[in-house]
Amino acid sequence: MRVKQMHVISKSKLVDGLVTFMKKMVSAKIGDRIKVHKNIEDLYEYIPKAILPKDFGGDERSLDTLQAEWIDAFSSDEYLKYLQEMNEATTNESCRPRNQFSEHYAGMPGTFRYLTVD
């Protein structure tokens, strides 16, 4: 997972100055991903209001509700069973051809017994 953008909402000039200073310390690519907004309405230009939680003035459910739903989903018996199955998943090594391993998978047949340096 990678961070595509980071949004900071603050009217403080100190915060704006600190973010500007931090942007100079990182690469231009990373610096361009950091946005400072003076108010929440400026944020709506980047993130639709429909997907923001009510805590940030959006139309989606509150953060507490969303967190509770995720905790319920990840602690469900179905999800825990899935994690257990993935934890126990292994390869069947008896199906792998053993005599062709060095030639076929390593890319170079034979061995190096002599090394000639010119």
Nearest of 59, 55, 60, 36 to residue 46 by alpha carbon:
36
**Total-model pTM:** 0.58
pLDDT, averaged in runs of 10, over the chain (118 residues): 90 93 93 93 93 93 96 96 94 76 57 65
- Residue 95's pLDDT is 84
What count of other Cβ atoms lies within 10 Å of the Cβ of residue 43?
19
Give residue-wise pLDDT tens across range 17-44. Answer: 999 999 999 999 999 999 999 999 999 9
What is the full DSSP assignment across 48-97? -GGGSBGGGT-SBPPHHHHHHHHHHHHTSHHHHHHHHHHHH----GGGS-
Nearest of 52, 51, 4 to residue 29 by alpha carbon:
4
- Residue 94's pLDDT is 84
Tokens, residue 18: 């600190």
Residue type present at position 98: R
For residues 7 and 38, what is the distance between their CA atoms, to the nearest angstrom? Answer: 11
The fraction of the chain above a pLDDT of 90, given in percent, is: 71
